[in-house]
Structure 1
């Protein structure tokens, strides 16, 4: 299980840096290795010294503008489910690279993991707005999920907007079964 998480983290980091956020899009599907760990164990994991996190923090202290180290640190916090630290780290990135769309997707993922769906929705909307035309191809899965999440949150308050978002979701990811179900529900 731990080896799978390390591989997923490496893939996540590489994809985030080089291809926008392609592999990061379905992080909710790939970061499930510790979903069955009791909450008490998770808390212990976040308070234990982590040599990777400690090294990255020192690296960032030495160079506060090292965006590669900041991405690695945010990802490391996510790996140990330290959502508050991950969010704080992603927010640091937003001051350094405010136009970098993957950071908004990352923030949305963290908010969603924290069960803060309103802020997750806002971050997904920022992500949608921040994706540049040249990033569209590499970001299709992420855009599909982002539009799906926004549609899901809007379904009760603004059905017409929800329909627009779910249509865009299916444009980017036509095989998303959950998006298809929501689309059918919104047609009723």
Structure 2
């Protein structure tokens, strides 16, 4: 029963992550073009007024180990750009399933949106380490981005490690132009 629930949760989150990964680049570009950013207080008020969020919170209150509801709640917070609550919810998920890689990728995504690149890097590293060999194929795009981000952060402090990460990134996605540029820069 627990394994079946975990597999169903993984499928739901992989789909959510795939959607998030495909829109991530767009989100970064549009976030820079926008001058109005909601404060954490405004974000919390918005999510508190969201009936779906409230229903999920009650569902989790009734069953604190309902991983499917926790994933849905974290995703709802992300959709509302309530990064503080999204992070807390993803942390709860990784506490329940510490070997589930997707929760670390999601934490890294949230940290990036919070402009906390050091913690994003650490979460991407946890994600990379947590992906099981049998999960690599399904996680190639996310692994490519995670390795790219870590390489980008390491380029000035540990060039050799950065080279290893960018090589992995390109192994998973050889078409990423930004990764190609970073690879060229690192190998000059």
Q: Same fold (TM over 0.5)?
A: yes
Q: Is the 8 A contact 2:40 2:84 kept in 1?
A: no
Counterpart of 1:143 in structure 2 is: 143
1:18-167 to 2 correspondence within 5 Å? Answer: 21-29=17-25, 31=27, 35=31, 36=34, 38-40=36-38, 44-48=42-46, 49-167=49-167
Report the aligned-residue RMSD. Answer: 2.4
Q: Say if 1:73 and 1:89, in contact at 8 Å, map to a contact too.
A: yes
The unaligned stretches of length 5 or more in structure 2 are: 1-8
Deviation at 1:47, TM superposition (A): 1.1
Moved over 2 A (4+): 13-27, 29-37, 40-46
Equivalences, count:
176
Structure 1, unaligned runs of 5 or more? 1-12
Tell me the TM-score normalized by structure 1: 0.84
Shift of 1:23: 4.2
Q: CA deviation at 1:46?
A: 3.7
TM-score (norm 2): 0.84
Q: CA deviation at 1:173?
A: 0.6
Q: Distance in 2 between matches of 1:175 and 1:34?
A: 22
Q: Relative contact order (C-alpha < 8 Å, sep 6+): which is higher?
A: 1
